[in-house]
Amino acid sequence: MEKQYDLSGCVVSVLYSPKLVQIIGSTQLLTFLNHNLSLNTLQLAKLIKADYQRLFGKRLKITNASLMVEIWGHLYASHFANVIKELIKLKVIGDLTALINKRSDTIDCGEADIDTNRGIWDTLSKFNHIIIKCLPKPSNIET
């Protein structure tokens, strides 16, 4: 099932399936998050998990912190890839950037038994307070 959310004037789409949510990584999502990265990402995570609970009658087994860092990982991977592409003018870098950008279009967030990366995001989530300081500031991001 797909739901669209109007978040401060930014439309964000989320696809819901058992044990999986897929967030469409649009520029509007990035715009919404950049108004207050930590607070807005937490708000989105809570909204997604509450709707998952309503739709499936059980909670999504992903912590808020893990969901947040996974969203950041996907969204900002594209940003960092594009920065590197501008710095290093090689075809292989351009090809790699295109692959990263394509994989960042949809943020697949699944429970541990279906998402092989869940453990990575769970581990990284313990460092959210450090990770957020390393992310680019809104003025340095193209939306």
- Assess whether pLDDT exceeds 80 at residue 94: no
**Two structure tokens written together for 20:** 């999986």
Please give the pLDDT value at position 2.
94
> Quick check: pTM over 0.85?
no
Residue 12: φ, ψ to 5°: -125, 130
Query: Which residue type, as a one-letter code, is found at position 13?
Result: S
- Assess whether pLDDT exceeds 90 at residue 81: no
- Lowest pLDDT segment from 16-25, 71-80, 124-133: 71-80
Q: How confident is the model at residue 27 (pLDDT cuts 50, 70, 90)?
A: confident
- Assess whether pLDDT exceeds 80 at residue 123: yes
* Residue 1 DSSP code: -
CA neighbor of 65 nearest in space, from 124, 111, 13: 124
* Tally of structural domains, the chain: 1
Residue 68's domain comprises 2-140
CA neighbor of 49 nearest in space, from 87, 14, 84, 86: 14
- Assess whether pLDDT exceeds 80 at residue 101: no
